[in-house]
């Protein structure tokens, strides 16, 4: 992987020039997320959300990061209720009471932006509300831990402890990632402690932190479409993601949207 800055412990340190582009790519992502989230209501299809997402990404002068990635067939991932991540948008109609996770990536001027939110379709029950707010709060606490001098595992631990305090479980089969000229770069970012404290965080590392949190067991399986990850027990799941820059103090959130806790006000 090419990088203009240096590499620390296998993780690129981005220059401020690179970060300025990453900020723009993620601004596009955040705007698309906000538009799609506002469109989620009973009766809309996931394919309609995807079509608007692709149009907005291209209108902004970017290309959809996901389209064609390892053969992925759409511009966004729309994962409904027991779908955890990588739901392929299509004819599925969203129904009252379901949780809808929207994941968007935009490639702009050589760099990727990536973020996700989970929103309710109409009124959702108390469990789903708590799952959604807990996942967003876990992301916020993970971001709070993502400061220079901490270890990557401090981020993982912060995310996990918020979720498990609510008796929810974090998915083990998928992790967050570094992001830059490639959508997936070093390091992998588990949402659980592994016993490997990982790299020491340095200013200029750019990370996509993305807790995937299940109401029941952490176990997932992938559907026959080869992409859609669903909970094995059929219980709901939520997913929030931000791309951030590690700084000396609080991280800089690149993908601020009105549908995330972090960065509101
Ligand atoms: N945010 C997701 C990720 O980091 C989206 C990737 S979807 C894919 O893995 F289709 F592009 F793989
Ligand atoms: Co991601």
Q: What average pLDDT score do residues 3-30 get?
A: 94
User: What pLDDT is stored for residue 2 in this prediction?
Assistant: 55
Beta carbons of 61 and 41 less than 8 angstroms apart: no
For residue 74, the ligand closest to its alpha carbon is: 1
Q: Residue 84 Cα, ligand 1 centroid: separation in angstroms?
A: 12
Distance of CA 53 to the CA centre of its chain: 16
**Which of 5, 261, 265 is CA-nearest to residue 117?**
261
Q: pLDDT of 141-193, one tens digit each?
A: 999 999 999 999 999 999 999 999 999 999 999 999 999 999 999 999 999 99
User: What pLDDT is stored for residue 25 in this prediction?
Assistant: 98
For residue 6, give Cα distances in angstroms to 14, 25, 114, 149, 184: 8, 21, 22, 17, 18
Query: Architecture of 9-253 per CATH?
Result: Alpha-Beta Complex (3.90)
Cβ neighbours around 165 below 10 Å, total: 11
Burial of 102 by CB count in 10 Å (0-12 exposed, 13-18 middle, 19+ buried)? buried
* pTM across the whole model: 0.96
Distance of CA 208 to the CA centre of its chain: 7
Q: Residue 111 Cα, ligand 2 centroid: separation in angstroms?
A: 13
Q: Residue 97 Cα, ligand 2 centroid: separation in angstroms?
A: 26
Report d(CA 186, CA 199) in Å as an integer.
Answer: 10
Q: Write the residue with the smallest CA distance to atom 2 of ligand 1.
A: 103
Report d(CA 207, CA 180) in Å as an integer.
Answer: 9
Sign of the C-alpha dihedral computed for residues 228, 230, 234 and 236 taken in this order: negative
Q: What average pLDDT score do residues 56-63 get?
A: 98
User: What pLDDT is stored for residue 222 in this prediction?
Assistant: 98
Beta carbons of 44 and 94 less than 8 angstroms apart: yes
Name the token pair of 8.
């620390």
Pocket test for ligand 1, best of 85, 175, 186 (most atoms within 8 A of CB): 85
User: What pLDDT is stored for residue 265 in this prediction?
Assistant: 41
Q: Write the residue with the smallest CA distance to atom 8 of ligand 1.
A: 66
Cis check for the bond before 187: say yes or no (omega within 30 of 0).
yes
Q: pLDDT of 21-38, one tens digit each?
A: 999 999 999 999 999 999
């Amino acid at each position: 992987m090419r990088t203009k800055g240096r590499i620390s412990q296998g993780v690129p340190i981005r220059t401020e020039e690179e970060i300025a582009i990453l900020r723009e790519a993620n601004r596009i992502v955040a705007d698309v997320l906000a538009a799609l989230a506002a469109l989620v209501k009973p009766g809309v299809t996931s394919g309609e959300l995807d079509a608007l997402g692709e149009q907005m990404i291209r209108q902004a002068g970017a290309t959809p990061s996901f389209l064609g990635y390892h053969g992925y067939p759409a511009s966004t991932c729309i994962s409904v209720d027991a779908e955890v991540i990588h739901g392929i948008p299509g004819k599925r109609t969203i129904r009252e009471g379901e949780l809808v996770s929207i994941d968007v990536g935009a490639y702009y001027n050589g760099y990727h932006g990536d973020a996700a939110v989970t929103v309710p379709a109409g009124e959702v029950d108390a469990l789903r509300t708590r799952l959604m707010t807990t996942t967003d709060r876990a992301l916020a606490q993970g971001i709070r831990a993502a400061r220079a001098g901490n270890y990557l595992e401090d981020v993982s631990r912060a995310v996990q402890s918020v979720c498990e305090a609510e008796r929810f479980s974090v998915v083990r089969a998928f992790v967050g990632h570094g992001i830059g000229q490639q959508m997936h770069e070093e390091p992998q970012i588990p949402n659980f402690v592994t016993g490997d404290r990982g790299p020491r965080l340095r200013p200029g590392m750019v990370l996509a932190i993305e807790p995937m949190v299940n109401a029941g067991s952490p176990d997932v399986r992938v559907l026959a479409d080869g992409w859609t990850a669903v909970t094995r027990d059929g219980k709901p799941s939520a997913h929030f993601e931000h791309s951030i820059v590690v700084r000396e103090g609080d991280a800089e959130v690149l993908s601020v949207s009105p549908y995330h806790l972090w960065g509101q006000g």
